[in-house]
Amino acid sequence: MPRDGKAPLISVEQLADELGVSIRYVRRIVAERRISYVKVGHLIRFQRDEVQRWVEANRVDALTGRG
């Protein structure tokens, strides 16, 4: 982590790799504004804590099989 305590921003390619999805999928969810991002000039970047919140918000829990 940098000295200022802020986590570095990650690229579309890094996010796709970390999530195990295609770059095209990441670009699609950006275009659909389904995930938060930061514009740095013409580049798109993501904050890891925002990505983690997005992942948790899209979590689907398994059924317990009871009932």
**Domain map (residue ranges) of the chain:** 9-57
Closest CA relative to residue 35, chosen from 14, 49, 17: 49
pTM: 0.80
Distance, in Å, from the CA atom of 32 to the CA atom of 17, rounded to the nearest integer, reads: 20
Distance, in Å, from the CA atom of 3 to the CA atom of 26, rounded to the nearest integer, reads: 29
Q: How many CB atoms are closer than 10 A to CB 53?
A: 13
Q: What is the pLDDT of residue 60?
A: 93
**Mean pLDDT confidence for 40-52:** 95
* Sheet with 9-11: strands ordered across: 9-11, 43-47, 38-40
- pLDDT per position as a tens digit, 2-35: 666 677 899 999 999 999 999 999 999 999 999 9
State how far Cα 34 lies from the chain centre.
10
